[in-house]
Chains A and B, each alone.
Chain A
Amino acid sequence: MATSPLERLLPEPAANWPAQAESLPDLATLFRSHFDFVWRVARSLGVPAASVDDAVQDVFLTVHRRLSEFEGRASMRTWIYAITYRTAQNHRRRSQRQRCDALLEEPLAEGPGPGEQLEHARAGRFVMKFLEGVSAEKRDVFVLSVLEELNAPEVAEILGVKLNTVYSRLRLVRADFRAALDRAAAREGTR
């Protein structure tokens, strides 16, 4: 197929972006830089396995679309966390407590509990199982503060709650986690 004369005349728009536009990344760049944690957060925030692909795709399309609104108040990463969080919430609501994650259906007691030879898969299952058992408020704080290691002000910003709320939920959920660990360790010990 021949290129029309006008097309030959005009370079690809991409080669012609004004300097100002160069600071705004395209979707490919955003994806490369942020895919891992977006995926991880979408999964751990309780998006059903069947919807994780959709949720992650939504996150990137939203981030790209709203990039011009990004004000730089928080870091880009925190901003993307916030979008991921909201998207995950939507997908969670949509799936209305559907429990289709096969990972979670496997009873914890069947495998060896968390111990020295703990495999990643088992650790993942343990944590997912734990997250499944706590309230959404505690889980969100646990995922962002403990798993993702964001600081408390960032978590407050993302969740849209007061800093003190983050601290108190964090205390509670850490205690829950420790208790779950103790139970698992005790089970391990009694074998």
Chain B
Amino acid sequence: MMDVEELERALLEGARKELAPSASDRMRIQSRLVGNPAWFLPAPALRPSLLRGLTRSWQGGLGLGFALGALLGFGAARGVERALGHHSAPVEAATALAAPGSAASLLPAAGELPAGSAAAEPGAASPPELPSGELAAVQPAAVQPAAVQPAAVQPAAVQPAAVQLAAAQFAAVQLAAVPDKSGRTPHARGAGAAGRRPHSSEAEESGSTLARELALLQRARRALNRNDALLALGIVQSLDERFPNGVLMEERVATRILSLCQLDRADEARAQAQHFLLEHPRSVYAERVRHSCAGGR
């Protein structure tokens, strides 16, 4: 008979093996976590405030609708048309979208901006070389303490680089899409916005939250493009959890509907679409939704 110590060792070894996860345990937990955007995002590091200049002044506006249209690839041309009431715009914008273009190629359609305006400069598309006006709008001025920011407890908080990219995208599109009525160039407008509210932590807060929301939404859209509707849906779900009162709800719902269609979950898609079209009949995404499996055609 084994002596007690030997028996103890054998028991413990057996117990370790018995308590180890099986392949199906692993798969099950992994499939839960894969739906979380943090799956492919490095852990959050520092939290600089990134979007000082991106204030609420334009959130939810038509310019935003356009910006998102362009970024997410949904009906951007229609967005331009609606935003500007400009009859020739759709054709030009569509051309710009079709061309292997740059941010600058969107400009003539978007606002017929004067040559040399901010977004037409090559730097507009590349964050590290932003023109000064955009720098004023985008660059962090202070490090925000993590404790103050509710997003600090969000698992999927995006890396600064990503936020900066998203911010630059926003800034570029925003500047391109919405010429200031005062006649100032968008370039001047960006600087002005930053100048007016140089220390507004509320603006920082909303700006960086918005950038995170956008970054996730873009990932969902890319997943959808890759026919990975399950991932897209997972990201949309975590958007619901993280940003229940998000700014980009129309885009989110549209992404959900298209994901559901891709997954052959037409009933759910239709239920969502019905609500969506009732609430946002004139949304730039309405057409997309009507032509999806949820459109009932």
Contact = CB atoms under 8 A, between A and B. Distances in A.
B32 A5 contact: no
Contacts of B154: 65
B38 A5 contact: no
A21 B125 contact: no
Interface string B12-34: 11111111110001101110111
A120 B26 CA distance: 19
B142 interface: no
7 shortest interchain CB distances as A-B pairs: A124-B18, A123-B14, A67-B43, A13-B162, A127-B15, A39-B21, A24-B43
Given A2-B73, A36-B21, 11 more contacts: A13-B159, A18-B161, A27-B155, A35-B30, A44-B15, A60-B29, A61-B33, A119-B14, A127-B18, A127-B19, A147-B19
Contact of B12 (A14, A57, A147, A178): A147
B120 interface: no
B37 to A, nearest CB: 9
A24 B42 contact: yes
A43 interface: yes
Nearest to A12: B222
The B contact surface, by secondary structure, is: helix
Contact of B11 (A28, A126, A182): A126
A114 B4 CA distance: 10
B70 A4 contact: yes
A40 B169 CA distance: 45
Contact of A114 (B11, B30, B38): B11
A185 B10 contact: no
A26 B38 contact: yes
Given A21-B45, A35-B26, A185-B4, A5 B99 contact: yes
Of A5, A16, A122, which is in contact with the most chain B CB atoms at under 10 Å from its CB?
A5
Interface string B74-94: 001000000000000000000
Given A17-B159, A24-B43, A27-B33, A6 B13 contact: no
B102 A53 contact: no
B29 A178 contact: no
A83 interface: no
24 contacts: A2-B98, A5-B100, A10-B165, A12-B222, A17-B161, A18-B159, A21-B160, A27-B36, A28-B39, A35-B21, A35-B29, A40-B16, A53-B28, A68-B44, A68-B46, A116-B2, A120-B14, A122-B14, A123-B13, A123-B17, A126-B11, A127-B12, A127-B15, A127-B19
Interface string B94-107: 00111111110110
Contact of B106 (A5, A10, A40): A5
Interface in A41-88: 43-44, 53, 56-57, 60-61, 64-65, 67-68
B16 A9 contact: no
A31 B165 contact: no
A3 B159 CA distance: 23
A118 B100 CA distance: 68
B72 interface: yes
A180 to B, nearest CB: 10
Contacts of A57: 29, 32-33
B218 interface: yes
B178 interface: no
A177 to B, nearest CB: 7
A109 interface: no
